[in-house]
Chain A
Amino acid sequence: MVAKADTKRKKGPGRPPKAAAVKINNIPATDDLLAMYKDMLLIRRFEEKAGQLYGMGQIGGFCHLYIGQEAVVVGLQSASKPGDTVVTSYRDHGHMLACGMAADGVMAELTGRAGGYSRGKGGSMHMFSREKKFFGGHGIVGAQVPIGVGLAFSHKYKEEPNVCLTYLGDGAVNQGQVYESFNMAALWSLPCLFIIENNQYGMGTAVTRAAAGRDLADRGMAYGIPGKQVDGMDVLAVRNAALEALAHCREGNGPYILEMKTYRYRGHSMSDPAKYRTREEVDAMRKQHDPIDQMRDLLKNQNISDDQLKAIDSDVKVTVTKATEFAQTSPEPDASELFTDILLPDTGDSQSAKV
């Protein structure tokens, strides 16, 4: 269970997940558990390194770390199928790694180098991979939500058996376009899974100070969209909820909302003085609910040896070290790149259309 940001409030978005919300009905095979552990660890190590590189001035601009929230994206992506699409906000490094994008290319984008996924032109908030079905990386709060509905629309239009996983924050849920999206997704039964990553704060504003009404999971109620609140610090709870929700969307029943109760350990971005919460609150969450610690304990219970865990640790470390070296040595984009990629060249198609 996730501790609350506001202990006085009994009802409303700050309250803990409903006890019966998620049952852990199936524990995946050990290999799957190890894979999830490794994916979470990779995100954590990657983000720690990104934080260091920012402090050293090698990453510029805004840099929003995902540390603490790893179980959300890893649990969800572990339940997705090939061909499913993903779209999220600017807090996107973890999503890209969980979608199978290479740590090298993500890190090199952070340092603004030619080897980055956007060839250095997008930065931390704006990375994409058509190959991995990752559609960004969006800097405007809430803007990715209708885009996710559009991706779901394209799945249905093309009769693909796929779902768009659309991630948004607890702050983003108050944007008007989210409700325009909910309405259209429900109206046209689009295969869109909305994942609200409720990390308790939108920048310095606690969710209870920004969101009226009931649980965020219930925000689709008026449109008939089912919603469920999940302990987002528990990767197995996330995975199980994701399997159920994705099946709902895939079977043509329209959209679904999962509210993930989670927590970010670091500041909103690197320049967050964080006077809006206490150090004790952060420490308590880290010590008692850390998704990676929980998974490690589970693995130990499953008789995974310390040596196996250490091997995963050093694997991950090698990946991150390699990515860092790549990101530091990849050249800056060529000056000519300034004027490329603004418009695509005319195709024969558009020429013939003119005739």
Chain B
Amino acid sequence: MATEIKMPALSPTMETGTLAKWLVAEGDQVRSGDVIAEIETDKTTMEVETIDDGVVGKLLVPAGAENVPVNTVIAILIDDADDSIAGASITDDSIADVAVVDKAAPENAAPESAAPATVSAPAITEAAEIGGASTMLTVRESLRDAMAEEMRRDERVFVMGEEVAEYQGAYKVTQGLLDEFGSKRVIDTPITEQGFAGLGVGAAFGELRPVIEFMTFNFAMQAIDQIINSAAKTLYMSGGQMGCPIVFRGPNGAASRVGAQHSQCYASWYAHCPGLKVVSPYSAADAKGLLKSAIRDPNPVIFLENEVMYGQSFDVPDDDVLVPIGKAKILREGTDVTITAFSIMVGRALQAADALAAQGISAEVIDLRTIRPLDSETIVASVKKTSRLVTCEEGFPFAGVGAEIAIQVMEQAFDWLDAPIARVTGKDVPMPYAENLEKLALPQVEDIVATAQAVCDGFRG
């Protein structure tokens, strides 16, 4: 019986991969556990092992093939006659497929090279205004570059978190930092969020500049007491003596089908608290420029990334560009309705604006970039032009970011509004796991389009 070996999915968000290398040839005998291929995703290289015995009948995808969709048949395995009980103890011989296994690679050398650098202070400039050279980079690379540049510039900056060093980051955001900066400044912690968040606060009081990575912000709930009660409030409680220059960063919000405990947006949680700045960029250029600003900021900054965005590429200026915290950005100008969004929702808002344009509705899209301090000036100016507002976020509706924007616009531009402000949010339920339910729970492009249409149609003229 011939069995098909398919391109395996290697992570929750993987859709395609590169078949880097075949390690077997047609006609080879393979046993369960044999590594047959290497597959590259944007994050990593993984070995693929067969968990069936047989003979490689045909290799259907050539080595080096890129963007091979998950589930493509990549090889055919022909059964061999061996059906012993010993063989059966490891393999399931009714269905062959592939399993992803461990790839043995030499440990990274970790040179201790923390060369002190001079602290310079470039002027804050908008990325878009820079005329210089730029490169297409992923959000992941941009975040890494931001940290690396700031670590070169200021030896007080260090990065700490789970799997940030030897593993190169659970989502590979800190890739290469251990190599360049050594284990004094790139530090793997035990799984002890409350502990290392508090340690970071102490180190910041001790005049260092910690960048604390949470593997995801879901796990920062273990540490939220230190973030709010220690990092956010101490400056005030000390009558201005005890500044806390720290960055808490990591992926926030839903990834893909990782369930209720791993899929929450915390933007409104942290934005609720005085004493914190809350940043959540969309583009790679903003991710880089804002993270650099956050690291230099004398205050605690919550830096909310998004796992699904990590692999997306954008044009990023090559120069040392800072993006100011607290400034929103108009990504698309329009006249009929203002749409605000942040992080991954910006992409959906832009798509919605395209769809709306096709229907004759001109939408202005604002990327908030910073949630707190909120750039209400930009939002209000836009609403005064369009007279309509739709806010978008992945988080829950109740007391969400949209609720805050709505009240601020009411306070500052009520007379300009031609329609009630409308919100597009995640559904008011814990994130379900099932594919169909998760899709229903998350705000989609169509939801933004429909909401913007309703806001415009119902109240036009």
User: Which residue of A has the minimal Cβ distance to B98?
Assistant: A55
Contacts of B188 in A (CB 8 A): 205, 209-210
Q: Is A154 an interface residue (CB 8 A)?
A: no
Q: Is B434 an interface residue (CB 8 A)?
A: yes
Q: Is A81 an interface residue (CB 8 A)?
A: no
| Contact, CB under 8 Å: B51 / A126 | no
| Contact, CB under 8 Å: B99 / A55 | yes
Q: In whole angstroms, what is the CA distance A121 to B97 when docked?
A: 27
Q: In whole angstroms, what is the CA distance A118 to B33 when docked?
A: 33
Residues 4-46 of A contacting B (Cβ, < 8 Å): 45
Q: In whole angstroms, what is the CA distance A118 to B433 when docked?
A: 10
User: Which residue of A has the minimal Cβ distance to B88?
Assistant: A313
Q: Is B414 an interface residue (CB 8 A)?
A: no
Contacts of B202 in A (CB 8 A): none
| Contact, CB under 8 Å: B434 / A113 | yes
- Kindly specify which of A57-65, A188-196, A240-248, A347-355 makes contact with the partner chain: A57-65
| Contact, CB under 8 Å: B85 / A282 | no
Q: Known contacts A209-B188, A276-B167, A306-B85: does B12 contact A60 (CB below 8 Å)? A: yes
Q: Is B238 an interface residue (CB 8 A)?
A: no
| Contact, CB under 8 Å: B9 / A56 | yes
Q: Is A125 an interface residue (CB 8 A)?
A: yes
Q: In whole angstroms, what is the CA distance A276 to B106 when docked?
A: 9
Residues 195-251 of A contacting B (Cβ, < 8 Å): 202-205, 209-211
- Kindly specify which of A98-106, A145-153, A265-273 makes contact with the partner chain: A265-273
Contacts of A282 in B (CB 8 A): 101-102
Residues 44-95 of B contacting A (Cβ, < 8 Å): 44-46, 51, 70-71, 85, 88-89, 91-92, 94-95
Return B67 CB to nearest CB of chain A, in Å: 16
Q: Is B100 an interface residue (CB 8 A)?
A: yes
| Contact, CB under 8 Å: A266 / B51 | no
- Kindly specify which of A71-79, A159-167, A253-261, A332-340 makes contact with the partner chain: A332-340
Q: Known contacts A205-B167, A280-B104: does B71 contact A60 (CB below 8 Å)? A: no
Q: Is A342 an interface residue (CB 8 A)?
A: yes
Q: Is B430 an interface residue (CB 8 A)?
A: yes
Return B106 CB to nearest CB of chain A, in Å: 9
Q: Is A176 an interface residue (CB 8 A)?
A: yes
Q: Is A344 an interface residue (CB 8 A)?
A: no
| Contact, CB under 8 Å: A139 / B262 | yes
Residues 103-144 of A contacting B (Cβ, < 8 Å): 109, 112-113, 118, 120-126, 138-142
Contacts of A113 in B (CB 8 A): 434
Contacts of B166 in A (CB 8 A): 204-205, 209, 276
| Contact, CB under 8 Å: A61 / B433 | yes
Total residues of chain A contacting the partner, CB 8 A: 73
Q: Is B461 an interface residue (CB 8 A)?
A: no
| Contact, CB under 8 Å: A210 / B190 | yes
Q: Known contacts A56-B6, A271-B10, A273-B45: does B191 contact A120 (CB below 8 Å)? A: no
| Contact, CB under 8 Å: A172 / B191 | yes
User: Which residue of B has the minimal Cβ distance to A121?
Assistant: B432
| Contact, CB under 8 Å: B167 / A125 | no
Q: Is A310 an interface residue (CB 8 A)?
A: yes
Q: Known contacts A62-B258, A112-B435, A210-B191: does B99 contact A266 (CB below 8 Å)? A: yes
Return A250 CB to nearest CB of chain B, in Å: 31
Interface flags for B253-264 (1: CB within 8 Å of A; 0: not) read: 001111111100
Q: In whole angstroms, what is the CA distance A276 to B258 when docked?
A: 24
Contacts of B208 in A (CB 8 A): none
Contacts of A321 in B (CB 8 A): 94
Return A50 CB to nearest CB of chain B, in Å: 10
Q: Is B241 an interface residue (CB 8 A)?
A: no
| Contact, CB under 8 Å: A52 / B95 | yes
Contacts of A292 in B (CB 8 A): 89
Q: Known contacts A52-B51, A273-B103: does B261 contact A338 (CB below 8 Å)? A: no
Q: In whole angstroms, what is the CA distance A125 to B89 when docked?
A: 27
Q: Is B420 an interface residue (CB 8 A)?
A: no
Q: Is B120 an interface residue (CB 8 A)?
A: no
| Contact, CB under 8 Å: B46 / A273 | yes
Interface flags for B134-158 (1: CB within 8 Å of A; 0: not) read: 0000000000000000000000000
Return B83 CB to nearest CB of chain A, in Å: 10
Q: Is A277 an interface residue (CB 8 A)?
A: yes
Contacts of A1 in B (CB 8 A): none
Q: Is A322 an interface residue (CB 8 A)?
A: no
| Contact, CB under 8 Å: B12 / A338 | no
Q: Is A51 an interface residue (CB 8 A)?
A: yes
User: Which residue of A has the minimal Cβ distance to B91?
Assistant: A48
Q: In whole angstroms, what is the CA distance A56 to B96 when docked?
A: 11
Contacts of A141 in B (CB 8 A): 191, 219
Contacts of A267 in B (CB 8 A): 100-102
Return A115 CB to nearest CB of chain B, in Å: 11
Residues 414-461 of B contacting A (Cβ, < 8 Å): 427-430, 432-437, 440-441
Q: Is B222 an interface residue (CB 8 A)?
A: yes
Contacts of B99 in A (CB 8 A): 48, 51-52, 55, 266
Interface flags for B152-181 (1: CB within 8 Å of A; 0: not) read: 000000000011001100100000000000
Contact of A121 among B6, B256, B437 (CB under 8 A): B437
| Contact, CB under 8 Å: A339 / B429 | yes
| Contact, CB under 8 Å: A48 / B92 | yes
Q: Is B218 an interface residue (CB 8 A)?
A: yes
Contacts of A337 in B (CB 8 A): 432, 434, 437
Q: Is A184 an interface residue (CB 8 A)?
A: no
Q: Is A275 an interface residue (CB 8 A)?
A: yes
Interface flags for A270-314 (1: CB within 8 Å of B; 0: not) read: 111111111110110010000011001000000000100110010
Q: Is B118 an interface residue (CB 8 A)?
A: no
Q: Known contacts A271-B12, A275-B105: does B94 contact A174 (CB below 8 Å)? A: no
Return A196 CB to nearest CB of chain B, in Å: 13
Contacts of B434 in A (CB 8 A): 112-113, 120-121, 123, 332-333, 337
Contacts of A202 in B (CB 8 A): 190-191
| Contact, CB under 8 Å: A338 / B190 | no
Contacts of A51 in B (CB 8 A): 51, 97, 99-100
Interface flags for B1-25 (1: CB within 8 Å of A; 0: not) read: 0000010111110100000000000
In the complex, besides A112-B434, A292-B89, 8 extra interface pairs with C-beta distance below 8 angstroms are A48-B51, A51-B51, A55-B97, A112-B437, A121-B433, A140-B218, A267-B100, A274-B104
Pairs A–B under 8 Å by Cβ, sample size 13: A48-B99, A55-B8, A56-B97, A112-B437, A126-B261, A140-B219, A175-B194, A306-B85, A309-B85, A310-B88, A313-B89, A332-B437, A338-B440
Using a CB–CB cutoff of 8 Å, the interface residues on chain A facing chain B are: 45, 48-49, 51-52, 54-57, 60-62, 109, 112-113, 118, 120-126, 138-142, 171-172, 174-176, 202-205, 209-211, 266-267, 270-280, 282-283, 286, 292-293, 296, 306, 309-310, 313, 317, 320-321, 332-333, 335, 337-339, 342
